[in-house]
Structure 1
Amino acid sequence: MTFRDVAVKNFKFNFRRYFAYFLCSSFSIMVLFMYSTLLFNNELAKKLINNPIYDMMKVALIVIGTFSFFFISYAHSSFMKSRNREFGLFLTLGMTKKDINKVIKVENSFIILISLIFGLIAGTIFSKLFFMVVTKILQLKGINYILNYNSYALSIGLFLLIYIIVLFLTKIYTNKIEIIELLKNSRKAEINKLNHPIVGLLGMASVVASFILLHLTLTGVIFKNQLSIITVYIFMCLVGLYLCISQFGSLIIHFSRKRKSGYYKNIISITEINHKFNQYKKVLYVVSILSGAAIFFIGLTFSFYISTNDFIKDRYPYDIMYVETSMENKLSDGELNVILNNKNTSLEESKTVDFVQMELYKKNNTGEYELFTRKITIYSEKEVNKLLFKKIDVEKGHAITSKQNEEVNPWYEENEVINIQDSKNHKTYKFDFQKEIYGSLVNYDANSRYDTIFGIILDDDDYNNLLKDNEICKFHLLNFKDWKNTENICTSLMSKLKKSNGVSEGDNLWKPNSTGEFKDLEPLKPVSKLMMYERALEQYGFYLFVMCFIGSLFFLSSGVVLYFKIYTDLEDTKIRYKKLFKIGITDSEMKKVISKELKPIFFLPVILGSSLGIGYIAVLFVNFALYKKLLVDSMIVVLLYLLLQTIFYFITRKKYFSEVID
């Protein structure tokens, strides 16, 4: 019998295991190819070259490539370990380790080739549908679907690299194997060296402590401005999670023994759970992490997407806003009224708020004053009271600070001095901190050179004292009856402002100044709530699609990893349950034991992973404007995941019954 004959016979005998390995490999190649056709489309790249969405696409491709590597590696590793008894028998019959390596190479070469062919064919078929969905979400028109040879090269190259690494690791594994160990491994229960409930409780304490410390660090209570310490907390969380899972069986036994009647009544189920968790702890640990990552990313983007309307209204209280300076964006009342006289919607509110800009100096960790990130916006008490429902009163010589979002720690502390400086004459003004208010005074504008997130409000007399050396600017704030019908108004306003700045219609919003240099007026573009809403929908829609796509891979891989482990251990499970039949256990009792054994294996990783995902969302986004809604929306994703896992549990349990009992 030749090596090829041995490989063929092995393939027939292990067909179901090979088929699972084949599906994992083919699926990974298909997903990688589908996504790479999107990234390597030149027309799409040109459209999104300066868009953060394109950067997100690159990051997603790296994540998918990494996922493919670990997913295929794990599937191959699990497949090899499930054949320990078979390799032990080969060695007993006289085959050498070198011979086994040859058999493995023949088998794997065949399965890798078939997986590559089927994966690329499936990817080619479904990639066009995938492309159409993405361009529809991004509302991109005039972009053609193109099959790029780079997609094939990337998929084949990465898969062959994985294949080479897998064969290398397999060779290391087979060189270390011994006959006795291989034959004993299939019958030997894995022993947990740290088998004590106290270790499990310490693991729980480590996870809880990591979240508490992370919250205290992010809020500046401890390790202020030392965010690198967060990696330590993540490590604490991961170690604690592993201890919780590895000691779950011992915790069940420990607490069950306190109720003697219940313990002896369910002794078979309890000992089987302990055995399974000792055997499956690494798999369940991986599944928990995958579940946590999926919940975090999908929950976050799902909440952002469905909260877009509320989020935009919170950050953009005015439908249209533009800044007027002493030289730029100047329109007469008549010109503005012509633009605002629109048949689609009528003007309901118009406000003009004066402000000046100055340099802000804040204390650093050493107690020295240093320049803030950019110039700060200074308002007068009178001007801000135009914007607020509840009026404020600023004491002379004091200042009220304004921030868009409320945070645990205020921007300034009590009795702290606010130090601002005139950028032209470098004259310094000092004010005592009075209090802090929260909310959007004007529209958020990340591109503006005028700070719309932070602001300082002064007494009218103090403010007027600043006007001697600083340019007065104005926020023009407009609200309409229906903000979703303001597209034409915004377009007309943009055109009129370009004309007033001496810019032709086809140019960007800039113009040459008197020295012949170019003066960038892009930050002076009007900020439209409708424009920001459409842009947010586009970005969050794509982020949601990508995160759901990656999260689905995590969900699917977690289910496959779990199913693969249960499936490859099925033969050993049959042997164990045959022994129970010999001592008189019935079919109905056997089904109860199996159900009790499978429930914690399927649902504990989901519960732990979901808790981690929701926990990190709760800690990291505590200052988010729509914090409560964010948590509620994320819980919807958790419930959906629990539903899918429940369906998967019943399908697997039915399969288990048919294989083990029937």
Structure 2
Amino acid sequence: MSLSKLVLRSMKKNMKHYYLYFFALIFSVTLFFSFVTLQNNADVLETVSKSGTATAGFGAATYILYFIVLFFVLYANHLFMKRRSKEVGLYQLIGMTKGLIVRLLAIESILLFVGAVILGMLAGFFSSRLFAMILLRVLEKEALVTMTFSIEALQKSIIVFVILLVIVLVQMAWMIHRVSLLSLFSAAKQADERVKRFSPLQMAIGFIGLVLIVYGYYASTKLFDIESAGNLFVNMMIILATTIGGTFIVFRFSVAFIMNSIRLKKNGHLTVRDVLALTPIMHRMKSNAKSLTLITVLTGVSLGITTLSYIGYYSSESSAFSQVPGDYILLEDNGLEFLKKLEDENIAFDKIDYRLQGVIASVGQLLSEEEQREGNPFYNMEGTIYTVPLSDYQQINPDASISGNEVILTNYGGYMAAMFKLEKDRNIVVSAGELKETFHVVDIQDNSIISGIVTAGGGGPIFVVTDEMFEKLAVQSELFPWHKQATINLKSKEDIAQAEELYIQTGAGVISALDSNGQSKQFIQSSFESERKEYIEDLGITIFTTAFLGLAFLMTTGSILYFKQMSEAEEERGSYTILRKIGFAERDILKGIYMKQAFNFGVPLVIGLLHSYFAVKSGWFLFGSELTTPLWIAMSCYIALYAIFAFLSVGYYKKVIRESL
């Protein structure tokens, strides 16, 4: 029989195995080709070019995506070769050399790759337009995206998957040449570890794994504390090491120990559910610990990165408001022409005037006594803090009330408020020229009222003082550059487009004033809408690429778990045949399968969610002002997609059980 006929017969016989591997290849090609096509789409690049991050973001994501695809395909190929180990052993028994077997499998792999690349590119070509529309939607851009076939994307994809094919062939040849004939017939069972008894050492190691994870979580909550700021990198490495190491130990020792303890408590009275769930999980922990650890860490990392990016994107409006707390901010006497134009065009608006007067103070004096320790650089760090009179503040908060030297500290939010938690009912010494006063802070609020230009970046504190105190401070007015702010809010948001044009035409956002060094400088005060759109454009590419890579990570980890369950189902087919023959119904067997799948998909997902939650919780405030909603949305997507893979896995087990009798 010729080699070509043998290849065709082998492919026909192994069709039930090939579709799994074939899907992995098509999925990988589709992901890569659609992303590279999107990267080279002229319509998309022209639309997003103003963001300045499109090319760099796409380029970095392409390399990451390639490593995801490489890992996915190599792992799928490894599982595929493992399932065909007996077949390879039979080929050797009938006299075929290892070299001939390698050639046979190489031809099959080449044919599969060619077919997968063609189908994957077709799917990627059509899906790229969908991804382009999603990207433009995220960026709030309107553009007509045409379906153009990119020759550059074709060339790059062919080069990448030819290299990947060579790597797969080398992996396959190495797997065949390194194993003996006997090991080929038992390769499918090498994952089993017959756990007969647990030593006290194993119990102690399992407990240490749990302790390491808990410590990593605890350390993450202290990562951005003031006293930890100097050793940030070292602390991050410690958290990573303890969390990842603890996860491996938990899967390697703790899970098997827990399962064995449950089994021993039953005193030998095991149900079918116990036999089909507890025992297989316990016996496979040795080999599965590495893969489950990897899947858990990948889930946590991808979800964490996706969530942080989404936090920044979701918080774009609140972040813009911290810089521009109104539709338009007019500083000093700038913008009078803009107001006249609004009146001429019959654009209704509300105006709130604030008087400003600066003082010198260190808000570190409002830190808790625990944080006011020697060596804390924030405690004695002085800077300019502006004050507004109570009567002006009552325009937005009529119930506000203070007297004497009492003050309300407001406008304090963002990452500063998260890292440096201030306490009310404390005194703070301020100075303005020769004048020194002691303020008593009666309340601390986070609502933004003053432009980020005045507060040097937004989120800086503002003191609300009595009108009498403000007049007392006014004698030092020449020492500070800002004295007036007018906040303009349009009554109808439908007028924003026209108002934006007038704001630009009149140059109301260009202000000349003295900087902190007393030098004349030109400042640009953006409108709220332009500031928000700038945040959207800066973060839109980031959230799109991280979400795309997160999807790739999720599909990879979910598919690997699904592939492993398919492989285990085939290995356990004989056990199901015995159970069916002695009278157990399909529903009795499925009870154990449900429990097993709940573990195989649920435990990596739950631990991955916990990893990502504590990682995000430690520094989310550096990316935005909203945590709960973005976190729950991202987690819900991951849970839903993992549930789909678990459902598919249970469906495959049902098919195997029905065919076992």
| Shared fold (TM-score, shorter chain, > 0.5) | yes
SS in 2 for 1:379: strand
Corresponding residue to 1:657 among 630, 654, 658: 654
Q: What's the CA shift for 1:94?
A: 3.3
Q: Structure 2 residue aligned with 1:409, among 420, 426, 443?
A: 420
- Local SS of the residue matching 1:407: helix
Residue 403 of structure 1 aligns to a residue in which SS? coil
CA change 1:285–1:444 in 2 (3 A) is farther
| 1:214 to 2:214 alignment | no
| Contact map agreement 2:76 2:560 (CA 8 A) in 1 | yes
Gaps of 5+ in 2: 366-371, 513-519
| Paired AA for residue 104 in structure 2 | V
Per-residue CA deviations over 1:82-131 (Å, capped at 9, x if unaligned) read 22222233333333333333223222222122222222222233333433
2:386 matches 1:379: yes
2:259 to 248, 252, 257: 252
3-state DSSP of counterpart to 2:355: strand
String of CA shifts for 1:25-57, please: whole Å, max 9, x gaps: 122112212111222234543543351551443
- In structure 2, the partner of 1:45 is 45
C-alpha contact 1:385 1:392 (8 A) present in aligned 2: no
Q: 1:101 to 1:573 in 2, by over 3 A?
A: same
The CA deviation at 1:153 is: 1.8
Sort the Cα spacing of 1:449 and 1:395 in 2 relative to 1 into closer, same or farther, 3 A. closer
Q: Is the alpha carbon distance of 1:5 and 1:336 closer, same or farther for their aligned partners in structure 2, counting shifts above 3 Å?
A: closer
Equivalent residue, structure 2, for 1:172 = 174
User: Match of 1:80?
Assistant: 81
* Contact 2:309–2:542 (CA under 8 A) maintained in structure 1: yes
8 Å CA contact retained: 2:322, 2:459: no
Give 1:439's aligned residue. Answer: 446
Could you say which residue in structure 2 is the equivalent of 1:268? 275
Q: 1:460 to 1:420 in 2, by over 3 A?
A: closer
Could you tell me how far apart the structure 2 residues matched to 1:114 and 1:605 are?
33
Q: Partners in 1 of 2:540 and 2:351 — Cα distance? A: 31
Aligned partner of 1:477 in structure 2 is 487
Q: Aligned pairs, how many?
A: 629
Match for 2:356 among 346, 349, 354?
A: 354
Deviations 1:414-450 (A, max 9, x none): 99999999xxxxx9999989769442444564x8994
The equivalent of 1:330 in structure 2 is 334
Tell me how far 1:212 sits from its aligned partner: 0.7
Partner of 2:67: 66
Q: Structure 1 residue 576: deviation in Å?
A: 3.2
Residue 330 of structure 1 aligns with an amino acid whose one-letter code is N
Confirm or deny: 8 A CA contact 1:377 1:455 kept in the other structure: no
Match of 2:192 in 1: 190
Change (3 A) 1:199 1:580: farther
| Structure 2 equivalent of residue 106 of structure 1 | 107
AA partner of residue 161 (structure 1): I
**CA–CA distance in 2 between the matches of 1:88 and 1:462?**
94
Q: What's the TM-score once normalised by structure 1's chain length?
A: 0.80
- Whether the 8 Å CA contact 2:272–2:592 is kept in 1: the answer is no
The residue number in structure 2 matching 1:341 is: 343
In structure 2, distance between residues paired with 1:330 and 1:589: 79
Residue 574 in structure 1 maps to residue 573 in structure 2: yes
Partner of 1:115: 116
Judge conservation of contact 2:85–2:185 (CA < 8 Å) in 1.
yes
The answer to whether the 8 A contact 2:354-2:486 is kept is yes
For the residue of structure 2 that corresponds to 1:141, the secondary structure is: coil
Deviation at 1:378, TM superposition (A): 3.6
CA distance in 1, matches of 2:377, 2:554: 50
Q: Does 1:8 align with 2:18?
A: no
Q: Give the 5 Å matches for 1:149-160.
A: 149-160=151-162
For residues 130-173 of structure 1, the C-alpha deviation after alignment (integer angstroms, 9 at most, x for no partner) is 33443344314366554332211221111122222222333333
- Alignment partner, residue 135 of structure 1: 136
Per-residue CA deviation, residues 634-659 of structure 1 (Å, 9 max, x unaligned), is 33443454344444434432331222
Q: Residue 488 of structure 1 aligns to a residue in which SS? A: helix
Give matches, 1:218-617, under 5 Å. Answer: 218-222=224-228, 224-247=230-253, 248-260=255-267, 263=270, 267-269=274-276, 270-300=278-308, 316-324=324-332, 330-332=334-336, 335-341=337-343, 345-355=347-357, 377-380=384-387, 382=389, 386=393, 389=397, 390=400, 403-405=412-414, 406-410=417-421, 437-442=444-449, 445=452, 450-455=456-461, 457=463, 460=470, 463-464=473-474, 466-472=476-482, 474-483=484-493, 485-497=495-507, 521=522, 523-525=523-525, 527-536=526-535, 544-581=543-580, 585-617=584-616
Letter of the 2:610 counterpart: S
Deviates more, 1:197-206 or 1:21-30: 197-206
Cα distance in structure 2, aligned partners of 1:162 and 1:448: 55
Q: Report the CA distance shift for 1:132/1:100 in structure 2 as closer, same or farther (over 3 A).
A: same
Letter in 1 for 2:327: D
- Contact 2:192-2:284 at 8 Å conserved across structures: no
Relative distance call for 1:350 and 1:179 in structure 2 (3 A) is same
CA contact under 8 A between 2:312 and 2:623: conserved in structure 1? Answer: no
Equivalent residue for 1:514?
none
Q: CA deviation at 1:346?
A: 2.2
Task: Determine helix, strand or coil for the equivalent of 1:60.
Answer: helix
Q: 1 CA distance for matches of 2:162 and 2:404?
A: 69
Question: Given the two structures, how large is their TM-score scaled by the length of structure 2?
Answer: 0.80
Change (3 A) 1:225 1:401: farther
Is the Cα–Cα contact under 8 Å of residues 192 and 278 in structure 1 kept in the other structure? Answer: no
How far is 1:312 from its partner?
5.3
- Contact 1:614–1:631 (8 Å) recurs in 2: no
Q: Would you say the 8 A contact 1:414–1:433 is kept in 2?
A: no
Check whether the contact 2:295–2:557 (CA below 8 A) recurs between aligned residues. Answer: yes
TM-superposed deviation, 1:210:
0.5
How far residue 233 of structure 1 moved from its aligned partner, in angstroms, is 0.7
Residue 316 of structure 1, CA deviation: 4.4
3-state SS of the aligned residue for 2:487?
A: strand
Decide which moves more: 412-421 or 297-306. Answer: 412-421
What residue is the counterpart of 1:424 in the other structure?
none
CA distances 1:212-262 after superposition (whole Å, capped 9, x unpaired): 112112223446452342022122212222222233233122134335486
CA RMSD of aligned residues (A): 4.4
- 2:129–2:145: 8 Å Cα contact kept in structure 1? no
**Maintained 8 Å contact 2:129/2:147:** yes
CA contact (8 A) 1:399 1:418 kept: no
Q: What amino acid sits opposite 1:407 in the alignment?
A: A
CA contact (8 A) 2:307 2:631 kept: yes
1:504 alignment counterpart? none
Equivalent residues of 1:361, 1:369 under 8 A apart: no
Closer, same or farther: CA 273–450 of 1 in aligned 2, 3 Å:
closer
Query: C-alpha distance in 2, partners of 1:569/1:226?
Result: 43
Q: Identify the range of structure 1 (39-48 vs 190-199) with the bigger mean alpha-carbon deviation.
A: 190-199
User: Hey, what's the Cα distance between the residues in 2 that align with 1:402 and 1:314?
Assistant: 8
Change (3 A) 1:156 1:344: farther
Q: What is the identity percentage for the equivalent residue pairs of Structure 1 and Structure 2?
A: 18
Question: CA separation in 1, counterparts of 2:50 and 2:598?
Answer: 49
Matching of residue 631 in structure 1 with residue 628 in structure 2: yes
**What runs of 5+ residues in structure 1 fail to find an aligned partner?**
422-426, 502-508, 511-518
